[in-house]
Amino acid sequence: PHAFYLSRHGQSEYNVLGKIGGDSGLSPLGDAYAKALARFCRDEVTKGEKGERPARLWTSTLRRTRETARYISHHSITIDYDQDDVDHAQEWVQLRPVAWSNLDELFAGVCDGMTYEEIEKHYPDEFRRRQNDKLAYRYPRGESYLDMIHRLDQMVFEMDRHREPLLIVAHQGILRLLYAYLMDMPREEAPYVSIPLNTVIKLEPKVYGCDEKRFELLR
Ligand code: F6P
């Protein structure tokens, strides 16, 4: 089976301000990460034994992930096997980004755009409830990690459907769930998995779980 590469978007304007959610663009540091990620794609994701290999690239629909993928070059790959299999041949497109709303970040409802301090101040009960059950807690008019699991169900099928390596540029919450799924972890642990910025997590599937390697692209 092929490798999965998981990356958060580069640092966003909201990350700098400590605000959750929103749809801000990248900070200058985030833009530097986007450039480093494009180099990483060339040197690792699309590097095959004999030159370039095809790969797939997914982002969420939010600005910060699309901007993080914007320097990654893409082009169609010439069909070099099974000439009759036209349907499959058309899928051999290299790193053309596909944006999925299923990969958008946990929607925090009335708390969208607030800092954790502001949430604690304005909605102390909500803040405590979330600490007590982070997996099931649903923000008022927003989502829970369990809600995100539902919208990811469809994606995990798509993820395993092709044989090319897949780079997913998404968000902290959603990547925790994908990571837990691929690593065969109990979902109760998922909301606490560390998914740092500026880092690509490479996961290579084994019978159970995956071999893992982390690449820190900015220091
Ligand atoms: O702070 C970045 C962020 O992606 C927020 O948009 C999101 O609400 C949060 O992380 C999810 O992390 P946690 O579940 O730990 O609050």
pLDDT in tens, 176-199: 999 999 999 999 999 999 999 999
pLDDT at 77 > cutoff 60: no
Is 75 tagged catalytic? no
pLDDT at 91 > cutoff 60: no
Least confident among 88-92, 127-131, 146-150, 163-167: 88-92
pLDDT at 149 > cutoff 60: yes
Distance 39 CA to ligand 1 centre (A): 27
Give yes or no for residue 11 CB within 6 A of ligand 1: no
Complete DSSP assignment for the chain? ---EEEEEPPPBHHHHHTB-SS---B-HHHHHHHHHHHHHIIIIITEETTEE---EEEE-SSHHHHHHTTT---EEPPP-S-TT-HHHHTT-EES-EEE-GGGS----GGGTT-BHHHHHHH-HHHHHHHHH-TTT---TTS--HHHHHHHHHHHHHHHHS-SS-EEEEE-HHHHHHHHHHHHT--GGGGGG----TTEEEEEEE-SSSEEEEEEE---
Least confident among 75-79, 158-162, 164-168, 206-210: 75-79
| Rounded average pLDDT over 150-167 | 90
Give yes or no for residue 41 CB within 6 A of ligand 1: no
Is 8 tagged catalytic? yes
Give yes or no for residue 200 CB within 6 A of ligand 1: no
Of 80 and 4, which is predicted with more confidence?
Answer: 4
Distance 204 CA to ligand 1 centre (A): 26
The model's confidence at residue 67, banded by pLDDT at 50, 70 and 90, is very high
Of 96 and 111, which is predicted with more confidence?
Answer: 111
pLDDT at 92: 47
Distance 174 CA to ligand 1 centre (A): 9
pTM above 0.80, yes or no: yes
